[in-house]
C-alpha cells in the first residue's frame, strides 16, 4: 500500500530510517533483548580462549536461532501482554532482524574461534 501511494522508502538508507522510526525503542522487552545481545557478545569476547565454553554458547545460540520461528509465532499471538504494538508479522521480518540476525552474526565469531583453535592449538 505504501508503494502504491508513493510514500514508501526509495532506497536502503530510507528503509533503515523507516525501520528505526517505526520501532518504539523504549519498550522494556526491546531493551531487554538488546541487553541480552550485548551480554552474549561480551561473553563471546571474554571466553574467546575457552573452547568448551564457546561450544556450549554456540549450541545455545543455535537452539535460539532454530526456535526463532516458534518464538515469533508465540509472540505474534500474545503481543498485547508485553508490547504496545504487534511487531511480529507471520513472515517474521522484525524478529529475524532484531533477534535472529544478531545471533547469526555471533556465528561468525564462533566459527573464527573454532577455526583458530583447530589450526593454532
Please report which helix (H) or strand (E) contains residue 104, including its range. Answer: helix 101-119
Nearest to 54 by CA among 109, 4, 121: 109
Please report which helix (H) or strand (E) contains residue 69, including its range. Answer: helix 68-77
pTM of the predicted model, to two decimals?
0.73
User: What cell was used for 41?
Assistant: 557478545
pLDDT at 111: 64
Q: How does pLDDT run across 68-111, given as a tens digit for each residue?
A: 889 999 999 999 999 999 999 888 888 888 887 777 776 666 66
pLDDT at 74: 93
62 alpha-carbon distance from chain centroid: 12
pLDDT at 113 over 90: no
Say if CB 33 and CB 99 are below 8 A apart.
yes
pLDDT at 2 over 60: no
Q: Which residue has the higher pLDDT, 47 or 1?
A: 47
Q: How does pLDDT run across 14-56, given as a tens digit for each residue?
A: 888 888 898 899 999 999 999 998 898 888 888 888 888 888 8
Amino acid at each position: 500500500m505504501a508503494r502504491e501511494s508513493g510514500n514508501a522508502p526509495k532506497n536502503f538508507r530510507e528503509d533503515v530510517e523507516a525501520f528505526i522510526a517505526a520501532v518504539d525503542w523504549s519498550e522494556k522487552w526491546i531493551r531487554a533483548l538488546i541487553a541480552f545481545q550485548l551480554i552474549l557478545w561480551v561473553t563471546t569476547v571474554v571466553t574467546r580462549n575457552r573452547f568448551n565454553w564457546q561450544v556450549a554458547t554456540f549450541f545455545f545460540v543455535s537452539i535460539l536461532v532454530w526456535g526463532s520461528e516458534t518464538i515469533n509465532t508465540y509472540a505474534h499471538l500474545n503481543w498485547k501482554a508485553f508490547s504496545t504494538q504487534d511487531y511480529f508479522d507471520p513472515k517474521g521480518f522484525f524478529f529475524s532482524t532484531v533477534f535472529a540476525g544478531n545471533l547469526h552474526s555471533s556465528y561468525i565469531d564462533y566459527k573464527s574461534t573454532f577455526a583458530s583453535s583447530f589450526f593454532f592449538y
